[in-house]
Every structure is written in structure tokens, then in C-alpha cells.
Amino acid sequence: MNRKPTYEELEKEIAHLEEALAQCRQVEKGSKRDLNGNADGVLRVMFDATHDNALLLAPDGTVLAINAAAAHGLRKTPEEMIDKNIYDLLPQKVVETRREEALKVVSEKRPVSFSEETEGMALDWKIFPVFSENGRVTKLAVFGHDITGTKRLEAQLQEARKMDSLGTLAGGVAHQFNNALTAITGNIGLMEMDPPEDRDFSRNLEDMKASAHRMVHLTKQLLAYARGGRYHLQTTPIGSFLENTLSLVAHTLKPSVRLETDLPLDLMQVKADRTQMQMVVSAIVANANEAMEKDGRIRISARNVELNEASCQGPMKPGPYVKITVGDDGKGMDEETLARIFEPFFTTHFIGRGLGMAAVYGIMSNHAGAITVESQPGVGTRVHMLLPGMGETQPPARDVPRKTAPGRGKGTVLVIEDEQDVMEITCATLKRLGYAPIEATTGKEAVQKALSFDGTIDVALLDIKLPDMGGAQVYPLVMEARPELKVLVFSGFALDGPAQEILDAGANGFVQKPFSIEGLSEKLEEVLKK
């Protein structure tokens, strides 16, 4: 039988237990202290390491804690911010919104999110309530994420999509325009083959032809714009190129602005994408025009120069260059503006209309050339462009173009074209050249005639845009029906895109609408000799 402990023994046991309990409590207290210290240290490192703005505020806006990023945005150190009221340090235009959102968190006891743009920055903000044990909101945890770069990229993407849409539109407009021009230039060509004795009539024909060719040039510009950033380098007489470009932009100048040129006849030719360079010259002239506050002058000059290695920059190589200078006596630019003129997102109130100077710089670099700008406030601006010269001077202009009668051909041509006016003038032209045309206005009809025609079909003129299918779909079908058939892609669109796809698949050549009778005759002769 177990003996019951005495009172004294129980007293001693209780004393031992109390001592042990006290020791446990002491250990627990120390552990909590160590744990809290370590946790605070880890949280502090994380708090300061983030690039986002992070703050802990009292409901009235007093700063209880702030990380380095948020303090830096207010041009303060974290230590300077503690116990200050955040609303006293913010720009006045954002104080009301921030205070309203903070009060909403306190009253509704839920997080809120909002965005704001100020001083060139865009920020996403989130405010979270911090509750006390009795459920009251005693603190606000505030986090701000900088979305300026994202917004900028979104704007660039939107602009790229818009430009892509405009490019598509430009291509479509040019296609329709070229189809209409085909009827004009084709009929003029036929009339020239049998001109009456009336000299006035012949002069009228020449005027009509000149106007039609100017329209053709404009559609080439549209098609080049639709190509986007792809470059098509051509040997270019720079003097006549500048004169033609300036004639296109002269009407946009202020009435008080005088345009002068100094373009020697011995200027070298250059390799250039004419449309891209036309955009460059137009943009620089537009900038000069906008810089003019009163009467003024824009002067365009060009000279042949020789550059050594020390004078070259970027992709340039020593050798012959053509230096083009566009000068104005407008208001000019200060050093700060001049230093930033080629930055992608930098603009002033007169620079930036149309093609930006950053894009101009890129185009010149892609031509293995260079562009520099010198300017002084109140004196004016000089823009210098350098393009590699080809060593050959501009060919002399001929007063009267030589006319050669188109040759007579023979054979059968399948014309696959849905525009009635284009079909009529094309078939009439082919008959005058000695060919027998067969008409097909859809892809299905073209395939059917290729299969059913009793005789040889020598050449097909294939439009790339038909009502029932594209030219790229029609091509393999007519080739399957007629393996020996020669095919010329026949289009108002540029060579890029669908036309090139058909050529890559095996087509024999390309005829750009509107065509000249001589050009069509030469292309048919060329393909039939193969």
C-alpha cells in the first residue's frame, strides 16, 4: 500500500515545479525575443530590397515604416520620413485621391486598388487594412508598383498596330488606284499608237500621260509605306530626287517661308530606299518650317565629299559621300534640347510631327550614312546628312524621251482578272500586240479554261486578288492543268507579300499595274523566250 506524501513533501514538490515553470517561462520569453528579432531583420531586408514602393501608415497618414524605394521617390531617406505625415509630402494633385482611398480602407475594412499618373510616372497602388485584436483598422499597408514602362510599351504596341492597319489600308488603296490607272495609261498607250494629225491632241495626250505617271509615282509611295520597315535600295540621282521630294512638300510650307536649293549638276548617285529617304527629307523640312515664327528661309544644298576614317561614325566607311544640308533661320534649339534630339521618346513643341528624329537617325544608319544637327537659339538649325556616293554623277536628263514601238508577238494569253476595266484594256492591248487573249474573271473560271481550252495557252497573266480565291491558290491549280504554262503575276500590289509567294512557287515574272504597253510587250517576249 502506497504511503501518502506528507505536507512538507508536497510543499517542496510544488516549490520545485514553480522553479521549473519559471525557468520555462524565462526560456520561452528569450526564444520569442530572438525569434522576433530575426523576423524583424528578415522582413526589414525584404522590405528594403523590393523595387516597389512599400509603406506602413497610421490611418491619419503618419509614416510608421517606409522602404528605400518609396522614400527615394519623395527625395528623402527612410529615417527622414518616420513620424511625418505622408500627405504633407505628396504633390497636391494626388493628395485628395490618396486620402479618399485610405479612408475607404478604414471605413469599409477591405483592400482597395487604384492607378494614378503624375510627374511622368504611372503607378498601380494597393492599400491593405491591418487589424488590431478587437477588429479595428489601426494601420494601413501601402504598396505601389511602377507601371510607366508597361504603359509606354502598351502605347508603342498600340501605335505599331495602328501603323500596321494603315499599312494594310495603304496597300489596298494603292491596289484599287493602280487598277483604275491601268485603264487610263492603257488607253493613252493605245491612242498613242494611232495618233491623229492634230498636234493639240498629241499635246493633250502627253499632259494626260504625265499626270497619270505622277499618280503612279504616288501609288508607289503608298505601296512602299505598306511594306513597313523593309528597305528597297535603288541607284538614285540625288539631285533630281531632292527636287522631286521638295516639289511634293512645298505646298505644306507657311506662306512666309521661302524654299531655296543649291544642287550642283555633278552630284554623285547614291543607293537609297527612295520612299524612306523621302520621308526623312520631308520630316526635316517640316521641322524647319515649324521652327519658323516669322518670315524665314529653308535652304537645301548638297555637295560631294570624301571622308577619311577619322570622319566616319557608326556603320560608315571611308570613301566618297554626298552631304545634304537642310538649314533654316528659325528659332533654333538650346544645348539640352540638341543633346536629346535623337532620343526615341523625346519631343519638343515643334519636333515630332510625322517621322520622329529617332526614326530619321535609324533610317540614315540603315543606309550606312549619318546625320548630325547643329543649332543655336535665335540663330537657326542645320541638319547634315551623309549618304555613301557611288562615284558616278547623275545622268543628264533627256529633254524628249525616246519612244520605241512595241514588238509584235504571237501566242495565246489567259488573262485572269476580275476588274472589268482592267480586263478590257489588257485584252485590247494584247490584241494590238498580236496575242490572242482568253478571259477569266474568277479563279474557278481560270482553272476550268486551263483544263478545257482546245489549244495551247502560252502565258497566263494572274491577278493575286480574285473574288473566289487568291492568286496563290489559283497558281498550283492552273499549273496542274497546264504544266508547260508560263505565268506572269499581274497585280496592283507591290512585289512583297502574295506576289512574291507565287514567284517563289515557280511563276515566271511580275507585271506591275498600271503597265505600259512597251513594258508588257517586253515582259511577254522575255518570258516566251525562256
376 and 418 assigned to the same domain: no
- Could you give the CA distance from residue 152 to residue 165 in angstroms, rounded to a whole number? 20
95 within some domain: yes
Where among 396, 422, 443 does a domain terminate? 396
- The confidence score (pLDDT) of residue 48 equals 63
321 within some domain: yes
5 within some domain: no
Do 441 and 423 touch, CB atoms closer than 8 A? yes
267 and 139 assigned to the same domain: no
324's grid cell: 545634304
259 and 373 assigned to the same domain: yes
365 and 430 assigned to the same domain: no
**DSSP state at residue 460:** E
Do 361 and 325 touch, CB atoms closer than 8 A? no
381 and 325 assigned to the same domain: yes
Residue 326's domain is classified under what CATH number?
Answer: 3.30.565.10
37's grid cell: 528579432
Q: 404 vs 469, which has greater pLDDT?
A: 469
490's grid cell: 499581274
Closest CA relative to residue 525, chosen from 444, 423, 404, 419: 404
- Could you give the CA distance from residue 246 to residue 255 in angstroms, rounded to a whole number? 15
Lowest model confidence (mean pLDDT) among 56-60, 190-194, 281-285, 399-403: 399-403
pLDDT(387) > 80 = yes
- The confidence score (pLDDT) of residue 398 equals 43
Sign of CA pseudo-dihedral 275, 278, 282, 283: positive
- The confidence score (pLDDT) of residue 400 equals 41
222 within some domain: no
39 within some domain: no
What is the pTM for the complete model shown?
0.43
Do 138 and 105 touch, CB atoms closer than 8 A? no
Maximum pairwise Cα distance, the chain: 152
Residue 426's domain is classified under what CATH number?
Answer: 3.40.50.2300
Phi, psi of 28 (to 5 degrees): -60, -40
| 148-193 and 420-432 helices, crossing angle to 10° | 40
Residues of 299-317 as b/e, b for ≥16 C-beta within 10 angstroms?
bbebebeebeeeebeeebe
392 and 428 assigned to the same domain: no
Q: What is the DSSP string of 101-124?
A: HHHHHHHHTS-EEEEEEETTEEEE
358 and 260 assigned to the same domain: yes
138's grid cell: 489601426
435 and 392 assigned to the same domain: no
367 and 427 assigned to the same domain: no
Percent share of the chain, pLDDT over 90: 25
Closest CA relative to residue 236, chosen from 366, 392, 363: 392
By the 10 Å C-beta count (0-12 exposed, 13-18 middle, 19+ buried), 522 is classed as middle
73 and 141 assigned to the same domain: yes
90 within some domain: yes
Q: Which residues pair with 54 in a beta bridge?
A: 143
Model pLDDT for residues 59-91, shown as the tens digit of each residue: 999 998 888 888 888 888 888 889 999 898 888
Q: Which residues pair with 306 in a beta bridge?
A: 320
198 within some domain: no
Report the run of H or E that residue 376 belongs to, with start and end: strand 370-376
Kindly report the length of the chain. Answer: 530
Q: Name the band, by pLDDT with cuts 50, 70 and 90, for residue 1.
A: very low
By the 10 Å C-beta count (0-12 exposed, 13-18 middle, 19+ buried), 171 is classed as buried
Q: For residue 8, what are the contacts with CB-CB under 8 A and spacing of at least 6?
A: none
Report the run of H or E that residue 380 belongs to, with start and end: strand 380-393
Do 302 and 323 touch, CB atoms closer than 8 A? yes
pLDDT(185) > 80 = no
- The confidence score (pLDDT) of residue 183 equals 64
Full residue range of the structural domain in which residue 64 is found:
50-146
Lowest model confidence (mean pLDDT) among 28-32, 106-110, 209-213: 28-32
Q: Name the band, by pLDDT with cuts 50, 70 and 90, for residue 364.
A: confident
Q: Strand, coil or helix: what is 136? A: coil
Q: Please tell me the total count of domains within the chain.
A: 3
Q: For residue 325, what are the contacts with CB-CB under 8 A and spacing of at least 6?
A: 299, 300, 301, 302, 382, 383, 384, 385
Where among 146, 166, 184 does a domain terminate? 146
Mean pLDDT of 343-349: 57
pLDDT(305) > 90 = yes
387 within some domain: yes
- Could you give the CA distance from residue 79 to residue 73 in angstroms, rounded to a whole number? 14
Residue 138's domain is classified under what CATH number?
Answer: 3.30.450.20
271 and 317 assigned to the same domain: yes
- Could you give the CA distance from residue 427 to residue 529 in angstroms, rounded to a whole number? 21
Average model confidence (pLDDT) for the chain? 79
Determine how β-strand 370-376 pairs with β-strand 380-393: antiparallel
In this structure, the number of other CB atoms found within 10 A of the CB of residue 492 comes to 26
Where among 128, 146, 164 does a domain terminate? 146
252 and 383 assigned to the same domain: yes
